[in-house]
Amino acid sequence: MIQPNIPETKQPRIVIVGGGFGGVNLAKHLKDLPVQVVLLDRNNYHLFQPLLYQVSTAGLEPDSIAFPLRAIFRKQKNLEFRMAEVTGIRPEENILETGIGEIHYDHLIFATGSNTNFFGNKGIEANAIGMKSLIEAVQIRNYVVKQFEESLLMSNPDDVRAKLNFVMVGGGPTGVELAGAFAELRKYIMPKDYPSIPQDMMNVYLIEASPRVLNSFSEETSRKTLAALQDLGVRVMTGTGVKEYDGKVITLSTGEQIATQSLLWAAGVRGIPVKGIPQDIILPNGRILVNEFNQVKGFTNVYAIGDIAQMTNDPKFPKGYPMVAQVAIQQGVNLAANLKLQMKNKPMKGFTYKDLGSMATIGRNRAVAEFAGMKLSGYFAWIVWMIVHLMSLMGFRNKLVVFINWFYRYFTFERGTRIIIKRGAANIVKLKQSVQ
């Protein structure tokens, strides 16, 4: 029989579900408190999601944007990590139910993040490709290279085009960065690796429902981003929605159709709620209603932070804060401070979001960034983007490997990791089952 085997201490136990930006930063800031921190995650690593799109487009190894949680917390003696999936809670007993058994808590924090939001369209959900997890990114990479290899076997030009049309839906930073990376594959890699395929057989589409790409940025930045994307050959369609997708043909809101086997969906995310949370506080977008202290509505010792939490105190964000890393990090830090205040019987401090700015990269020497009232674009924004992302990556080895990959790519125009890791050997069936 398996059980969590978490040592019992006399200190209060703070259980954190999720090792993303919110959970990790909260846990770190509980380091010197006389508490026992229990961190749970379904994976054993922290994933640096902002660079996930580079894994899907063969620019980075998956390992270089993931960092083992045990390594992050090796020196934090008051923390226990367990790899576990949460299945429910019994709040009246302060019990969390997980795949490895029941865990008692004094304080419980949900930092479970978000998943792809298909807005209820079953056809799209069944056939489009989301991009929120490491395995999805690796599978996309495998899939894209495979599309190219298979396109060589087609004789009908329409079949080739259907294989080499790549459609991104969602003109936010993820969609823009993906479209830019695909356009660069087309521009720099395709002529070298597949010289026999005419380049116009491959097309990259970016579809956005609102009137402009990067609509959370200024209009000026949107305009520059659109120009940069078009310059790279991306077919940008704004004010256009996706009505249906059957795995072969996309039908747009305009009635237009695009034949493609690759629809990458970056049009939205939704919170991943946990079973056992009262249904009436879970919003249609999957987020959990919290107050300004990140306390889940109706609870005093259950909290939610980051993407999964919807906090509506700030009049600038009536629908809650954006689902981005900065909010999660800042809420994690604030909640750690509040738990400390609680232990001293002092009043907690409400959360206020400090927008540090946002940025997106479109391709080599092209990025946009807005922060501290400044609008940057082009080469300088691209350098800033790289520095900020390198600095934020966890672990020296990861920083170094990512830097070298970027450096190498910059001068060689190469993508290092265009390999298809596929299954096949019979005697790994056992392993396959056991790691699923």
Within positions 376 to 435, which residues make up the interface with a copy of itself, using CB under 8 A? Answer: 395-398, 400-401, 404-405, 408, 412, 414, 416-425, 427-428, 430-432, 434-435
Pairing relation of β-strands 165-169 and 262-265?
A: parallel
Residue whose CB is less far from a copy of itself, 3 or 345: 3
- Smallest gap from Cβ 322 to a copy of itself, in A, equals 23
How many C-beta atoms surround the C-beta of residue 381 within 10 A?
24
How many C-beta atoms surround the C-beta of residue 269 within 10 A?
21
Q: Which of 76, 133, 215, 301 binds a copy of itself (CB under 8 A)?
A: 133
- Per rule CB under 8 A, is residue 249 in the interface with a copy of itself? no
- Per rule CB under 8 A, is residue 326 in the interface with a copy of itself? no
- Smallest gap from Cβ 305 to a copy of itself, in A, equals 22
Query: Is the dihedral angle over the CA atoms 303, 307, 312, 314 positive or is it negative?
Result: positive
Q: Which residues pair with 253 in a beta bridge?
A: none
**How wide is the angle at C-alpha 404 spanned by C-alphas 402 and 408, nearest 5°?**
120
Pairing relation of β-strands 95-98 and 86-90?
A: antiparallel
- Smallest gap from Cβ 375 to a copy of itself, in A, equals 35
How many C-beta atoms surround the C-beta of residue 423 within 10 A?
7
Calculate the alpha carbon distances from 90 to 2, 4, 177, 214, 221 in Å. 20, 17, 42, 41, 48
H or E element in which residue 371 lies: strand 366-371
- Smallest gap from Cβ 232 to a copy of itself, in A, equals 22
- Smallest gap from Cβ 273 to a copy of itself, in A, equals 16
Residue whose CB is less far from a copy of itself, 155 or 279: 155
- For a copy of itself (CB under 8 A), the number of binding residues is 84
Q: Within 134-153, which residues bind a copy of itself (CB under 8 A)?
A: 134-136, 138-140, 142-143, 145-146, 149-150, 152-153
Nearest to 46 by CA among 338, 290, 325: 325
Residue whose CB is less far from a copy of itself, 74 or 319: 74
- Per rule CB under 8 A, is residue 436 in the interface with a copy of itself? yes
- Smallest gap from Cβ 259 to a copy of itself, in A, equals 17
- Per rule CB under 8 A, is residue 199 in the interface with a copy of itself? no
Q: Coil, strand or helix: which one is 124?
A: helix
- Smallest gap from Cβ 211 to a copy of itself, in A, equals 28
Pairing relation of β-strands 374-377 and 101-104?
A: unpaired
Q: Which of 94, 115, 251, 326 binds a copy of itself (CB under 8 A)?
A: 115
Q: Which of 49, 54, 64, 295 binds a copy of itself (CB under 8 A)?
A: 64
Q: How many CA atoms lie within 13 A of 193 on its CB side?
A: 18
Q: Within 21-40, which residues bind a copy of itself (CB under 8 A)?
A: none
- Per rule CB under 8 A, is residue 66 in the interface with a copy of itself? yes
Q: Which of 61, 106, 292, 314 binds a copy of itself (CB under 8 A)?
A: 61
Q: How many CA atoms lie within 13 A of 67 on its CB side?
A: 22
Query: Is the dihedral angle over the CA atoms 153, 159, 165, 166 positive or is it negative?
Result: negative
